[in-house]
């Protein structure tokens, strides 16, 4: 039943934000003071320029009020459309015409509200320009104060005090308007007054927010084709996933409150370095990984990494790497798919790894959606073919990262594992018996496309694939080793690609540096014979998955509910909590974390999930999960107050743990008549793991001895250590100060170089015969 017009107006008044009311009041006051000054004859002596400045400031305040009314109306229509669409579950049958029509209507209304907000922002920018010009005019008029022709100060002495008061008040109010609207934002009404605690409405709202935001960002980056798409595409899939992850707004939790909870979870220590029974990686393995890492880093031929290395002079560094200054060398460089005219991407790759141009055989640098950039290099002195896959650098790569819905592997994808004689029979039987298997949707599709690029064969015409021609019998590279390398997204794509190639090329070995979790547990274990995953300290990418984000979100909300009273305003205490995060962890029960990690490393298969426990139908890649059944995903694990830190530490969480709902008793936890029913998650998305042998590079703890005592100790101890770790230890995101900077590729390369340098003399010492044997 539609509300009557008076009831609707009352609802709109109640939904108004206080900041919006304050902004409207200040604008009205500015216009009123301007009119009062005009009535008092303040502007009678003003010239045209001065009078235009005053009129512009006063008129723009009225235009701003009109814009705010239009924004409020458009926001109301948009919110009602989103709420009604969420209430009826999308409208009609799944995929029906009514559902498509409702989605299109929602998008059109959201765009209308977006244009109103842009109009309001433009008016605000004009108000800033008018206020600056008015202040300039008034300051310039001060020099003519004693003249009778002065615009603002040429009045009679009897009226000078009141006139100056009006002028000062008008100028002050014009700047107060600018300051207030900086803290107001574009929302006139409170979204919560329409959505309350309905999580589906919040998900639909943020789905539209992310969808339009991503499309506009892509348009600014030169991908205007995404801006005019109305049907569901890969951008819509990414936006839906992000909207599901922001569904904590239904419980009353704000964005700043979530950041405060993440600050409470911050770690400052390294748990791996406290263990003495960890197995170190072999010297041969680290030596080959350090040698091949530059090929993975060289795949970033764009300006992204140059900006990281040289924040000030990065344009010069990138122009130098691209070979812009040596266009005469263009013909000597290989032609790559999608390269520029002077073949700059090939020049950048060759310059970074310092190899001759003839060593680079094939490559692609300009890709479309769900495609990966790659380079194929032949090292004849090493008898090795290196295939480097680029990580995240372009908007298309970001879309591939965001398409993290589970994708079912086909038997053709697993052919390299099932039919390979190099793998043990038990491993192959386990892969077959636990079918189906799942992987990261965007990564699997990129690996499939890259597999067709490198090894696609046409049986009808008898045309062999590129690798078959390169490595086949009688070819120049017959008998060469094949090494696949990649960093971040490139490492994950190289992992799945290596799994597909392993059956045909047994010499394949993959080195993935900081990859994303991309396969389930059984496939990850099966790849241990030919995949080496190297993780640099606390980098976030190797722990990033849908489940890890959901667990981190619930842990942050749990930290807020456990460490503050229910009636405390969390936003007011945000700064203090971030500043005192170290004190919180110093007083917290952290002893159980280290002990739990030690116990976990001694149990081999206690946290291995059983794929048979979750019943799934084989979905297509990037199909939508039934995340609305999870409601907001607010759950935590039974146990003591240390459980929050434990599930973010190195102790992996078993899937058999009990779950319970977090009671949110804050002031914004719900509204009368709009209660959300939280229930346990009936079906979880498949857990993604890192594949292969896991090598974790950790920093060594700095010595606690005084400076004059620890010089000799620090000279003998290497700054980094490479240890073999369990893949279950990387299921959860660890919040540390270095979680993002550790992902930079040059940090990983520097750490591996230090490890190899430290291992070389130790290896020589162990290989030398004992001294007593020579003393005969």
Per residue in 568-618, pLDDT (tens digit) is 444 444 434 433 433 333 333 333 322 333 343 334 343 444 443 333 344
Would the pLDDT of 294 be above 50? yes
Residue 63 belongs to a domain: yes
Average per-residue pLDDT in the chain?
75
Provide the domain limits for residue 137.
5-195
Both tokens of 441, joined, read 């949707």
Instruction: Give the pLDDT score at 272.
Output: 47
The total domain count for the chain is: 2
Distances (CA, A) of 674 to 228, 669, 670, 671: 36, 10, 7, 5
Contact 514, 743 (CB under 8 A): yes
Distances (CA, A) of 348 to 310, 333, 428, 455: 16, 10, 41, 26
Distance CA 546, CA 630 (A): 13
Would the pLDDT of 760 be above 50? yes
Of 71-85, 374-388, 581-595, where does mean pLDDT reach its minimum?
A: 581-595
Instruction: Give the pLDDT score at 269.
Output: 52
Residue by residue, DSSP assigns 589-638 as --HHHHHHHHHHHH-SSTTPPPGGGS----PPTTPPP-GGGGTT--EEES
Distance CA 28, CA 177 (A): 10
Question: Who has greater pLDDT, 148 or 127?
Answer: 127
Residue 68 belongs to a domain: yes
* CA-wise closest residue to 541 among 467, 490, 614: 490
Residue 342 belongs to a domain: yes
Instruction: Give the pLDDT score at 577.
Output: 43
Q: Is beta strand 406-408 parallel, antiparallel or unpaired with respect to 438-440?
A: antiparallel
Cut 0.85: pTM above it: no
- Summarised one tens digit per residue, pLDDT across range 312-327 is 888 888 888 888 888 8
Would the pLDDT of 31 be above 70? yes
174 backbone φψ class: left, alpha, beta (φ>0; ψ -120 to 50): alpha
- Summarised one tens digit per residue, pLDDT across range 123-140 is 999 999 999 988 888 777
Percent of the chain at pLDDT above 90? Answer: 26
Both tokens of 696, joined, read 């974790």
Instruction: Give the pLDDT score at 145.
Output: 54
Contact 361, 374 (CB under 8 A): no
- Summarised one tens digit per residue, pLDDT across range 407-444 is 899 998 998 888 888 888 898 899 999 989 999 989 99
- Summarised one tens digit per residue, pLDDT across range 329-379 is 888 889 899 888 889 899 999 999 999 999 999 999 987 778 899 999 999
* CA-wise closest residue to 554 among 204, 261, 243, 252: 261
Shared domain check, 191 and 306: no
Residue 540 belongs to a domain: no
Distances (CA, A) of 575 to 169, 260, 394, 423, 645: 34, 8, 35, 54, 21
Backbone angles phi, psi at 28, to 5 degrees: -65, -40
Final residue before a domain boundary, out of 129, 164, 195: 195
Instruction: Tell the burial category of 393 from Cβ atoms under 10 Å away from its Cβ (0-12, 13-18, 19+).
Output: buried
Percent of the chain at pLDDT above 70? Answer: 70
Distance CA 522, CA 57 (A): 68
Residue 747 belongs to a domain: no
Instruction: Give the pLDDT score at 68.
Output: 92
Question: Who has greater pLDDT, 318 or 664?
Answer: 318
Instruction: Give the pLDDT score at 81.
Output: 82
> If DSSP codes are grouped into helix, strand and coil, which group holds residue 509?
strand
Residue 32 belongs to a domain: yes
Distance CA 380, CA 361 (A): 12
Distances (CA, A) of 240 to 236, 280, 345, 745: 6, 42, 34, 30
The H-assigned helical ranges of 337-414 are: 344-353, 395-402
Would the pLDDT of 638 be above 60? no
Final residue before a domain boundary, out of 356, 374, 394: 356
Question: Predicted confidence band at 152 (pLDDT cuts at 50, 70, 90)?
Answer: low
Residue 770 belongs to a domain: no
* CA-wise closest residue to 234 among 406, 450, 402: 402
Instruction: Give the pLDDT score at 764.
Output: 59
- Summarised one tens digit per residue, pLDDT across range 485-500 is 999 999 999 999 999 9
Final residue before a domain boundary, out of 177, 195, 213: 195
Residue 629 belongs to a domain: no
Of 16-30, 265-279, 524-538, where does mean pLDDT reach its minimum?
A: 265-279
Distance CA 24, CA 617 (A): 55
Shared domain check, 315 and 186: no
């Amino acid at each position: 039943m539609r509300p009557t017009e008076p009831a609707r107006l009352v609802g709109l008044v109640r939904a108004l934000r206080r900041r919006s009311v304050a902004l409207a009041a200040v604008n009205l006051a500015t216009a009123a003071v301007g009119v009062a000054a005009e009535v008092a004859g303040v502007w009678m002596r003003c010239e045209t320029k001065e009078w235009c400045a005053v009129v512009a400031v006063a008129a723009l305040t009225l235009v701003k009020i009109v814009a705010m009314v239009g924004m409020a109306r458009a926001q109301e229509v948009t919110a009602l459309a989103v709420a009604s669409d969420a209430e009826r579950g999308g409208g009609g049958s799944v995929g029906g015409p009514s559902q498509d029509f409702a989605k299109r209507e929602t998008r059109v209304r959201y765009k209308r509200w977006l244009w109103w907000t842009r109009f309001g922002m433009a008016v605000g920018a004009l108000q800033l320009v008018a206020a600056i010009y008015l202040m300039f005019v008034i300051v310039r008029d001060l020099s003519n104060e004693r003249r009778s022709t002065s615009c603002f100060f040429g009045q009679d002495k009897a009226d000078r005090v009141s006139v100056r008061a009006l002028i000062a008040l008008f100028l002050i109010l014009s700047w107060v308007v600018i300051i207030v609207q900086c803290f107001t934002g574009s929302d006139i009404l409170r979204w919560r007054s329409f959505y309350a605690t309905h999580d589906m409405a919040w998900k639909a709202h943020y789905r539209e927010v992310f969808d339009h935001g991503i499309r506009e960002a892509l348009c600014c980056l030169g991908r205007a084709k995404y801006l005019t798409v109305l049907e569901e595409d890969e951008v819509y899939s990414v936006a839906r996933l992000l909207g599901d992850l922001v569904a904590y707004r239904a419980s009353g939790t704000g964005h700043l409150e979530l950041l405060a909870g993440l600050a409470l979870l911050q770690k400052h220590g390294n748990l791996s370095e406290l263990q003495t029974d960890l197995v170190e990686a072999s010297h041969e393995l680290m030596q080959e990984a350090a040698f091949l890492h530059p090929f993975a880093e060289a795949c970033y031929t764009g300006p992204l990494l140059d900006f990281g290395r040289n924040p000030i002079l990065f344009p010069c560094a990138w122009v130098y790497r691209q070979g812009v200054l040596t266009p005469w060398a263009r013909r000597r460089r290989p032609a790559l798919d999608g390269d520029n005219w002077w073949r700059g991407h090939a020049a950048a790759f060759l310059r970074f790894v310092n190899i001759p141009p003839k060593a680079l055989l094939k490559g692609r640098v300009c890709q479309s959606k769900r495609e990966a950039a790659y380079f194929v290099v032949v090292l004849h002195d090493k008898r090795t073919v290196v295939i480097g896959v680029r990580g995240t650098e372009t908007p298309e790569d970001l879309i591939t990262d965001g398409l993290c819905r589970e994708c079912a592997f086909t038997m053709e994808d697993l052919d390299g594992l099932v039919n390979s004689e190099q793998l043990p029979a038990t491993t192959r039987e386990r892969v077959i018996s636990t079918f189906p298997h799942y992987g990261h949707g965007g990564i699997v599709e990129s690996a499939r496309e890259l597999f067709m690029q490198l090894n696609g064969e046409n049986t009808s015409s008898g045309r062999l694939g590129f690798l078959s021609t390169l490595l086949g019998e009688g070819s120049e590279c017959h008998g060469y080793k094949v090494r696949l390398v990649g960093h971040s997204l490139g490492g994950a794509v190289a992992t799945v690609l290596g799994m597909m190639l392993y059956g045909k090329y047994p010499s394949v070995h993959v080195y993935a540096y900081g990859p994303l979790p991309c396969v389930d547990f059984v496939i990850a274990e099966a790849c241990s014979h030919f995949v080496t995953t190297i993780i640099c300290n606390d980098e976030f990418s190797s722990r990033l998955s849908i489940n890890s984000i959901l667990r981190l979100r619930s842990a942050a909300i749990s930290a807020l509910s456990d460490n503050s009273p229910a009636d405390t305003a969390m936003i007011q205490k945000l700064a203090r909590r971030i500043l005192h995060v170290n004190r919180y962890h110093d007083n917290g029960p952290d002893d159980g974390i280290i002990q739990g990690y030690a116990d976990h490393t001694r149990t081999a298969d206690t946290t291995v999930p059983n794929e048979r426990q979750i019943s799934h139908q084989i979905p297509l890649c990037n199909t939508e999960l039934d995340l609305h059944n999870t409601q907001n995903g607010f759950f935590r694990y039974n146990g003591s107050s240390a459980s929050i830190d434990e599930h973010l530490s190195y102790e992996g969480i078993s899937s058999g743990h009990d779950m319970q709902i977090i009671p949110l008793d804050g002031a914004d936890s719900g509204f009368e008549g709009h209660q959300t029913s939280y229930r346990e998650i009936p079906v979880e998305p498949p857990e993604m793991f890192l594949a292969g042998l896991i090598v974790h590079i950790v920093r060594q703890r700095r010595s606690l001895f005084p400076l004059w005592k620890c010089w000799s100790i620090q000279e003998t101890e290497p700054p980094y250590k490479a240890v073999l770790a369990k893949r279950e230890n990387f299921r959860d995101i660890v919040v540390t100060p270095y979680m993002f900077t550790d992902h930079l590729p040059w940090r990983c390369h520097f750490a591996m170089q230090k490890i190899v340098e430290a291992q070389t003399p130790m290896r020589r010492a162990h290989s030398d015969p004992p001294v007593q044997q020579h003393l005969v």
